């Protein structure tokens, strides 16, 4: 499925390196002022968008669903697959985790942070945060990370980097 089949009235958003599907869908929806239900309708995917934004990948995305989503968001299926956990690799739906040092470089939630095998960020050798170090609030699903700060105390994700510990 080629990206040129994109609906011409929608803004395109390119996934960042390693970005999770939830975070990508949130950015795409915000750029286009769409709710999960609205995007589901545009793609003919019903309630699946809301489930995927919460990392509910059971049942896994079918090839048909991936192709339908690819057309609407204007991103190739191969690229969309990279926003999902690799096949056969276990992931945690919660808590949502963050390497703030990575976020400074690339402001997105990375799918690798939710993999069960990840004990910390390999790049920075830092432990992942699973709550706001300032107020203890859990992170929301990445589709809701648009502002880039804790929804309770407004500490920015970037500022949380000094609270990560080396492991």
Interface residues toward Zn ion, by CB under 5 A:
99, 101-102, 121, 123-124, 132, 134-135, 137, 150, 152-153, 155
Give the residue with the Cβ less far from Zn ion, 31 or 135. 135
Q: What is the largest CA-CA distance in the chain?
A: 47
Give the residue with the Cβ less far from Zn ion, 91 or 102. 102
Instruction: Give min distance, CB of 152 to Zn ion, in A.
Output: 5
Instruction: Give min distance, CB of 140 to Zn ion, in A.
Output: 11
Give the residue with the Cβ less far from Zn ion, 11 or 154. 154
Instruction: Give min distance, CB of 36 to Zn ion, in A.
Output: 25
Instruction: Give min distance, CB of 132 to Zn ion, in A.
Output: 3
Give the residue with the Cβ less far from Zn ion, 76 or 159. 159
HEC profile for 94-143? CCCCECHHHHHHCCCCEHHHHECCCCEECCCCEECECECCCCCCECCCHH
Torsion of CA 165, 143, 76, 71, to 10 degrees: 180
């Amino acid at each position: 499925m080629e990206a040129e089949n994109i609906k011409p009235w929608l803004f395109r958003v390119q996934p960042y390196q390693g970005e999770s599907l939830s975070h990508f869908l949130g950015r795409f929806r915000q750029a286009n002022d769409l709710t999960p239900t609205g995007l589901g309708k545009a793609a003919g995917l019903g309630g699946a968008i809301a489930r995927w934004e919460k990392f509910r990948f059971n049942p896994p995305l079918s090839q048909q669903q991936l192709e339908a989503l690819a057309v609407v968001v204007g991103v190739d299926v191969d690229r969309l697959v990279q926003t999902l956990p690799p096949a056969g690799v276990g992931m945690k739906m919660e808590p949502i985790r963050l390497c703030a040092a990575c976020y400074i470089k690339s402001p997105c939630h990375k799918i690798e942070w939710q993999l069960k095998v990840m004990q910390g960020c390999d790049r920075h050798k830092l432990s992942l945060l699973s709550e706001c170090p300032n107020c203890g609030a859990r992170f929301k699903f990445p589709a809701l990370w648009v502002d880039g700060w804790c929804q309770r105390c407004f500490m920015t994700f970037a500022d949380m980097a000094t609270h990560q510990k080396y492991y």
